Structures are given as C-alpha cells and as structure tokens.
Structure 1
Amino acid sequence: MRISSAEEREFLEGVFTAYSFSNEDSALLADTLVDADLRGIASHGIQRLAWYIRMIKEGTIQPQNKVKVLKETPTSLLVDANKNMGQIASAFAMKNLIKKTKQVGLSMAVIRNSNHFGTAGYYSRMAVAEGLIGIATTNTRPLVAPTNATQAFLGSNAFAFTFPASPHPFVFDGATSVVSGGKIQVLAKNNKPLPGDWAIDGERNVIHDAQAAEDILAKVAFTEHQTGGGVLTLGGNSEKNSNYKGFGNSLIIELLTGILAQGSISADTNTGEHDFSQFFLTLDPAVFGDLETFATNATAMFTRIRGLEHTPGTQIMIPGDREYKNYHENLQQGVLLDEKSAAEIKEIAQELEITVPKFK
C-alpha cells in the first residue's frame, strides 16, 4: 500500500508533538523520516516510528532535553545531544558547520550522548545544497561481527559523502557492514528471506531466515546478554573476499564517533548509557578552485561511467541515482508501506487519539 508524503508528514508531526517534542523538532523529525521513505530507504523511514516511541517511553530518548554546545572553535564543535533524538543535534551541528565552512573553508563536529539519527545522507546533503562537500557518520548498537569473530561488536556505522554534480549531487550513503540492521528488520516484518549473505549465527554460519537474524540482532543490540551471531562486515564471511577491509572501515567510524566523542563504542551502547556518537565534516571545494569546474568535471566522470558497456538487463548507476529517481516517483505516487508498519501506525494513532493517515 502507499501513503502520500504530505499525509505521512502531517501524521508524524502530530505524533512527535504528542510526545512533547517542540513544533520545530517535530517538523525536523518528520522530515527525516519522510525523506528516507521518498528515497526508497524504508529501513529508516516511518517503519522506525514504533521503535522510537518505545525508546521514548523507556526514557532512552528524552524529548524535552535541549542540545548543548560543550566546546567551540572557528573550525569545530563539540555537541551534547543530551539524550534527545540524534536528528536534532545532527541538524543543529550541520547548520553551524555550514556557516563556519563558508567562512574558513573546513569545519568538523562531534556529538556525544546521542541516539539514532536517521539516514547519514540527510546531513551530508544539507552541506552539498550549499555548494559544500559533506561527510556524516555515526556509530550504532552492536550489530556487526568483526572478521573471524562469532559475536557482534561493531555498529553498522553508517558513512555518507556528498559532492556537487548534475543533475543531482553525488550522494554515497551506506553502512560499513554488508547491510543495515533496519533492512533485516523490514524483511522480518514481511516474512521475507534475506536475499544475500548478510547475517551469521553463533557459529559463523550464514543464515537467510530474516526473523532468525532479527532475533539475534535484538539480543545483541538491546540487551546486555552476550550472544553469538550478527551482521557481516563488507566483504562477507570470508577473509578471501577481503572482509577485513569492511572491518577496517567500521573501526574508522568507531574512532571518529564513540572514541572521539569520549562516549560509548558500539559494543557498549547496549549497557548503561545507551549513547550513540556522531561525526560531521564540511569542506568548501572553492578553497582549491572554481566550484562550477569541480561540479562539471565530476558530472562528466559520472556520465562516462553510466555509459560504459554493461551486462544485458542491467544499468550502471552512480550512488544517489536510485534515491533521486525514487524521490521523484514516490512524491507523485505516494510512499510504499508494508502491512505491519501500517498496522503499527493505526495503533499509534488510536493510542494518541489522532487521525489515522489515509492509505491507498
């Protein structure tokens, strides 16, 4: 079924307002989820709502808390998200970095005491909309088993990078694991198998049962009980396929987030503090030359790549192509929604006594 993005936005704003977020914060939170759904990233869209509400009720997310700036220089920010939603502190940090970078050419921010922040690309696209290069990263709950390990330790640790180009910016936004936990969650909700070698059990055997994988992730990500299994690093289950490179990429994100923020590493976010950390960087390419020339040259490279010979029935797509295509189509047709998420939405609406959005 589908729901119009306008209906989704109005409903989400009503839900967040009902849970004591300010009107401004409610609008931001709704926008991040609607944006993910429009781009076809259902794992980070409205299907996350029931999960967010559970964390609000548990006190992991504290809507009334305000973002704090702990330390600031002309080129940096250290921000305390103060246990509120990660989107709020992240948008605050990126807006301030854009101002700084336009003045000095480069700036960075680290956020501590945060929560899930949606899609990393949402923030790096804020930078590229202003003609800047943007980088956004986060650690997460422990979901990913390092090379040769049988237990999860790392987060899925998303990384996003944007660069000016036409007809839309280059946007790479992805986990440093083979898949985000949210995609497994969506498949489990809909009783579908894992289509690739994404997850392992406690003996490091690949599993394709999405619900079994989700059960494993729930144990390692939301309880202090150490159990086996998890998501694989980029490169899959074997060192022969260079999965140590994915392991290394994930460790870099851990260093830039949990370690640099002096917060929890992913392995420890399921105990005690439940705190995530984020890292952002913005760079003005104009410090190296003409912005239009950079964008033109990048566009020319992407055009050549898209035009390479390819296997029949396939298409060569640059990171960002699929998401921008989805965005325009879903804006017209409405956002796809699975039946279980639709049922959750109806339950939330009834509990809060607000209007249930219309489904097509």
Structure 2
Amino acid sequence: MERQFLESVFKAQKFSAKDGALLADTLVDADLRGISSHGIQRLAWYSRMIKDHTLEPERQPKILKETPTSLLVDANKSMGQIASAFTMEKLIAKTKQMGVSLAVIRNSNHFGTAGYYSRMACKEGLIGISTTNTRPLVVPTNSLEAFLGSNALAFTFPADPHPFVFDGATAVVSSGKIQVLAKKGEQIPGDWAVDENRNVLHDAKTVEDNLAKIAFSEDRPGGGVLTLGGQDEVNSNYKGFGNSLIIELLTGILAQGSLSADTNKGKHDFSQFFMTIDPALFGDLDVLKANATKMFDRIRHLKHLPGTKIMIPGDREYRHYDENLEQGVSIDETTLAEMQAVGDEFGVTVPTEETVED
C-alpha cells in the first residue's frame, strides 16, 4: 500500500512511471530494512524541494565525460535516486567488461540510502561502493559550527546468506534519525549533537530545529552533529573527521560541485561517488564469497556479552526486511499527517493498512 501511494504521488508530481517506481522502491526498501530515517518520512521534504525547484521531476541525468572505466554525470537537478541508479547500472556493465569502474555525479540531491546502490552491484557478484555529501550538519573536531555533511558510505561484498552491507554516516548519526525522534517527541539516546558552545544536547526537537536552521539558512547558527568518535579528541573524533573529509574529496571536490558547507546556498546541489569492483580479478568468486561467509560466521560465534548478539553489518537490516514484509512497517503520527497533506494536495488517498505508532 505504501508503494502504491508513493507511485501515485510521484506520478502527480510529474515524475515518469519508471522514475516514480524507482523513488518509491528506495523509500519502501529503507522502511522495510528498519531505516525509517530514509523512508517515507522523507516524502514531505522531497515535495518541498520540488516546489522550490531544487528538484525538477522531468529532468534526466546526462553523461558529461566517459571512458571505458569511468563516468562523470550531471544529475541535471533530477532526484538523486534517478541519477544514482542510472550511474550504477552503467558502472555494473563497465565492470563486467573491465573489472573495475568508478563515477562521480554533480548537480544531484538526496539519494536515499547509500546501500541501495551498493546492493545493486552485489546482486551482480560485484563489490559496490557508494558515497554522498549532504547539507552542512557536522561539526569538525573542536569546531563550534557545522561544515561537513553526514556523508554516508556504503560498501558491499558478496556473502551468504546475504551480502555484507555496511551503510552508515561518517558522522555519529544521520540527521534523519534525529528527525524521526523529533517527530515522535523522544529524546536522543546518545551524545549525538551539540549546541553553539559545543555542549551536548539530548532533546531531539531542539536539535532538529537547530539542524534545519544550519542546513537551510545562509545565516546559520552554531552547533551540529558530532563526527564519529563523539565530543572529545581523546576518543579519536579526528578519525571521524578524516573519514568525512575523504567523502567530501570524493564527492564535491571530484565532481566540481558544492562542498557540504555550501549546499545551503546557490545551486543547492549534492555530489555522489560510486565504484564497482569485480572480485574475480583476484580469484574465483565462489571461493572468495565462501571465505567471506566463513569469516563472518566465525565473528558471529565469538564469546560475547550475555543477552547480546554479535551482528555483521547487514544482519539487522535483512532481519528487519523479512519481518516487515510479514507484519508491515510502522509510521509515526507526524509522518502520517505529512502523508495526508501531500496526498490531499495531489488527490491521492493515504493507505490505511499501515501500523501507526502511538
């Protein structure tokens, strides 16, 4: 029901049937995997970006430069998912011929979960790498103001019973998780964000309001999300800072687009980087896949704390996917109200079979 609703809304917003189906699939896929920060709760934001022409639904990505192993793509203000899936499909074909290929995209926007595109490669027996920069949200080590994006990185590797899928921000958390907590009226459970004096904040609504000002205003306040490693240098937060800078170099710099720090003005553009590698360059795919699977199984069965499980990246998401296919996904009341408003605007009925959280 969620998928049908989304496809109907995207059609009304003048996306093609193919593009609308892709956008719906990326959001539904995120919700099914328990990544509600990147699921249907993003719909209202996408709709606002269409209205202010940050996004142009009828635009299509264009190849600016191409070699047998590389692509430079102009997303042309299309939705990030559209340009990213287009690019990953091209890379998969190139890598099957050449063994490795890579691409950067400019003039793009939010592309959903980075893992969606890396999994596209893994379905073809390839290693997939996907990254993006974002709005300015993250404070560098010792900084009082945001400069970096949450700058997601996804990496996949073939394995059984499912691929290895690491998909996460290079900050402590993505802004979407804070948005979801704010919509539910809940507190932030960890040390994720700070104010203008670098004091840790736990009220999700306060943090979300501040992040919105940082991300969408040129006169931005101080504070923001912390890098991996958290508040203090003694906990190696400079390593998280370094990881985030690597993503900035691979995206905004290579694509000659905007830095995360500058995406809140001018073109309002994001940049993305993708790479695919054929493991068969180095050995038989079945052997490599089996060896990876054995390593993960050994880790899962290490001695561990009572009442806990050792989970390999991807385990939780694939478990959620199977469970949610059976029981449906939960949608908070604020997101449901946003869906209702978007649905009313475009004459699309909101589904009633979803589970609404109290």
Smaller-chain TM-score range?
Answer: over 0.9
Opposite residue 47 of structure 1, the aligned amino acid is: Q
Whole-Å separation in 2 of the counterparts to 1:355 and 1:144 = 37
Q: What's the counterpart of residue 212 of structure 1?
A: 206
User: How far apart are the structure 1 equivalents of 2:228 and 2:348?
Assistant: 42
1:168 aligns with 2:162: yes
Of residues 29, 37, 48, the one that matches 2:42 is: 48
Indicate which of 77, 81, 88 corresponds to 2:82: 88
2:342 to 320, 345, 348: 348
CA distance in 1, matches of 2:258, 2:10: 27
What residue in structure 2 maps to residue 108 of structure 1? 102
For 1:253 and 1:213, locate their aligned partners in 2 and report how far apart those are by CA, in whole Å.
Answer: 24
Question: What's 1:148 paired with?
Answer: 142
Q: CA deviation at 1:305?
A: 0.4
Q: After TM superposition, give the deviation of residue 345 of structure 1 in Å.
A: 1.1
- Match of 1:279, SS? strand
Deviation at 1:278, TM superposition (A): 0.1
Alignment partner, residue 320 of structure 2: 326
- Asked if residue 27 in structure 1 is aligned to residue 21 in structure 2, the reply is yes
Distance 2:213 2:148 in 1: 14
Between 1:140-149 and 1:212-221, the stretch displaced more is: 212-221
State the alpha-carbon separation in 2 of the partners of residues 52 and 95 from structure 1: 24
User: Where in structure 2 are the equivalents of 1:132-143 lying within 5 Å?
Assistant: 132-143=126-137
Counterpart of 1:321 in structure 2: which amino acid?
D
Give the letter aligned to residue 2 of structure 2: E
Match of 2:292 among 295, 298, 302: 298
2:30 aligned with 1:18: no
What is the aligned partner in structure 2 of residue 4 from structure 1? none
Aligned to 1:195: 189
- In 1, Cα distance between the equivalents of 2:214 and 2:340? 29
Superposition RMSD in Å: 0.6
What SS class does the counterpart of residue 160 from structure 1 fall into?
Answer: strand
Percent identity of equivalent pairs: 72
- Stretches of structure 1 that go unaligned for 5 or more consecutive residues are 1-6
How big is each residue's C-alpha offset from its partner over 1:112-155, in whole Å with a ceiling of 9 and x where there is no partner?
A: 00000000000000000000000000000000000000000000
SS in 2 for 1:110: strand
Match of 1:58 in 2: 52
Match for residue 286 of structure 1 among 280, 284, 300: 280
Residue 338 of structure 1, CA deviation: 0.7
Deviations 1:52-105 (A, max 9, x none): 001101110111111100000000000000011000000000000000000000
Secondary structure of the residue aligned to 1:15 is: helix
**Alignment pair present for 1:256 and 2:250:** yes
Q: Given the alignment, which residue of 122, 143, 150 partners 1:128?
A: 122
Pairing partner for 1:71 from 56, 61, 65: 65
Is the deviation greater in 60-69 or in 252-261? Answer: 60-69
Q: SS in structure 1 opposite 2:59?
A: coil
Residue-pair matches, total? 354
- What letter matches 2:18 in structure 1? E
TM-score normalised by length of structure 2: 0.98
1:331 and 1:81 mapped to 2: Cα distance?
32
Query: 2:344 and 2:135 mapped to 1: Cα distance?
Result: 30
1:306 partner amino acid: R
Q: CA deviation at 1:344?
A: 1.1
CA–CA distance in 2 between the matches of 1:260 and 1:326? 35
- Where in structure 2 are there 5+ consecutive unaligned residues? none
What is the alpha-carbon distance in structure 2 between the residues aligned to residue 315 and residue 337 of structure 1? 27
Per-residue CA deviation, residues 189-221 of structure 1 (Å, 9 max, x unaligned), is 111000000000000000001011101101110
Give the secondary-structure state (helix, strand or coil) at the position aligned to 1:78: strand
State the SS of the aligned residue for 1:329.
helix
